[in-house]
């Protein structure tokens, strides 16, 4: 197949599919209930004992207290990703909070928290 036709096909195909998926509503982030968050944490860390769990009001993240220390669970497209809060920095911005993990596979999570939950969750994220 000529290279220029292959290129048009690949670039055009990817663009059309991405647009189509977006228009079909497939870009929506999953919204977590406390029960979902609990199940999701155990899916990622089956050996952890969950001691407490707070879901952000937008449903896109949860701070989880476990016997292994605090952890963060967040919406990742239609699914979730979780990390223990061990090696990270918090960047405080007016509209949001950025969690910078020193982890090449999960570099940054942006949390949109309202004024009441923000100080609470922030406090829970600090390892004891």
Partner 1 sequence: MNNAISYPDVTQLAVPFFLSAILLELGWIVWRGRGGRYETRDALTSLVLGAGSVVSGMLLGFIAWGFFMWLWSLTPLDLGASALVIAVCFVLDDLRYYWVHRFGHRIRWVWAAHVNHHSSQHYNLTTALRQTWTGAFTWMMIVRAPLVLLGFHPAIVLFVGGLNLVYQFWFHTEAITRLPRWFEAVMNTPSHHRVHHGRNARYLDANYAGVFIIWDKMFGTFVPEQEHEKPDYGLVHNLGTFNPLRVAFHEWIGLFRDVFQPGLTLRQRFGYAFAPPGYSHDASRDTSAEIKAKHLARNPTDAGTPGFD
**Whose Cβ is closer to partner 1: residue 82's or residue 121's?**
82
What's the closest the beta carbon of residue 116 comes to partner 1, in angstroms?
27
Own/partner pairs for 97-102, CB < 8 Å, 24+ apart? 97/122, 99/72, 99/125
> In angstroms, rounded to a whole number, what is the distance separating the alpha carbons of residues 31 and 18?
22
With 0-12 CB in 10 A as exposed, 13-18 as middle and 19+ as buried, what is 72?
buried
Residue 9 binds to partner 1 (criterion: CB under 8 A): yes
Residue 8 binds to partner 1 (criterion: CB under 8 A): no
Q: Map the footprint of partner 1 across residues 65-94, applying CB under 8 A.
A: 74, 76-79, 81-83
Do 69 and 128 contact (CB within 8 A), yes or no? yes
Q: Map the footprint of partner 1 across residues 92-111, applying CB under 8 A.
A: 101, 103-107, 109
**Whose Cβ is closer to partner 1: residue 47's or residue 92's?**
47
DSSP, collapsed to helix, strand or coil, labels residue 109 as strand
Q: Which residues bind partner 1 (CB under 8 A)?
A: 1, 6, 9-10, 13-14, 17-18, 20-22, 24, 26-27, 43-44, 46-47, 74, 76-79, 81-83, 101, 103-107, 109
């Amino acid at each position: 197949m000529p290279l220029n036709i292959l290129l048009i096909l690949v670039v055009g195909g990817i663009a059309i599919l991405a647009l189509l998926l977006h228009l079909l509503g497939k870009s929506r982030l999953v919204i977590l209930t406390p029960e979902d968050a609990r199940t999701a944490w155990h899916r990622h860390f089956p050996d952890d004992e969950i001691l407490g769990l707070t879901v952000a009001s937008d449903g896109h993240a949860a701070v989880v207290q476990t016997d292994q220390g605090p952890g963060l669970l967040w919406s990742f497209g239609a699914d979730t990703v979780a990390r223990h809060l061990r090696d990270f920095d918090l960047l405080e911005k007016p509209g949001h909070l950025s969690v910078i993990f020193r982890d090449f596979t999960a570099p940054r999570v942006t949390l949109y928290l309202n004024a009441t939950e923000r100080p609470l969750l922030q406090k829970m994220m600090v390892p004891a």
